[in-house]
Amino acid sequence: MSPTIKVVQPTGLLDGSKANQVRREINECLEGGTQIVLLDLKDVTFIDSSGLGSLVSALKTVRSSGAKMLICSISDQVRILFELTSMDRVFKVYANREEFEKEMASNPEISPASKTAIEGKSARDD
């Protein structure tokens, strides 16, 4: 059986209020039975301390529900923040969505049909 994968893709500055919106979207995914949440940060320009704290909180929520949260497409600035705070050891980070999909396709527990199960959500700037 293929896991359900949902993509959440915030944009701009990931501060406390935007991170709370992302957490709500992740919670909705979990309530819908999602087993893997991919947080695609390609359009995030900066993460402040409250945004980083919210990501850690979201990760705890995801793990407690028995699901996984993975991250892809971080900018150099976000990568430096992750390295300085050791979050690169906490989160599984993929270079981009293609790398994530390639690993999912090569995982024997996930059939190629799961590619059609990947659905995107987007936390846009208001």
Give the residue from 66, 18, 8, 87 showing the smallest Cα distance to 46.
Answer: 18
* Averaged pLDDT score across all residues of the chain: 86
Domains of the chain: 5-125 (3.30.750.24)
Tell me how far the alpha carbon of residue 31 is from its chain's centroid.
Answer: 16
User: What SS3 class is residue 12?
Assistant: strand
Whether the model pTM is above 0.75: yes
Taking residues 48-71, report their average pLDDT. Answer: 95
116 Cβ contact list (under 8 Å, min separation 6): none
pLDDT in tens, 82-126: 999 999 999 999 999 999 999 988 874 543 333 334 445 555 444
Confidence check: pLDDT of 64 > 50:
yes
Contact 3, 113 (CB under 8 A): no
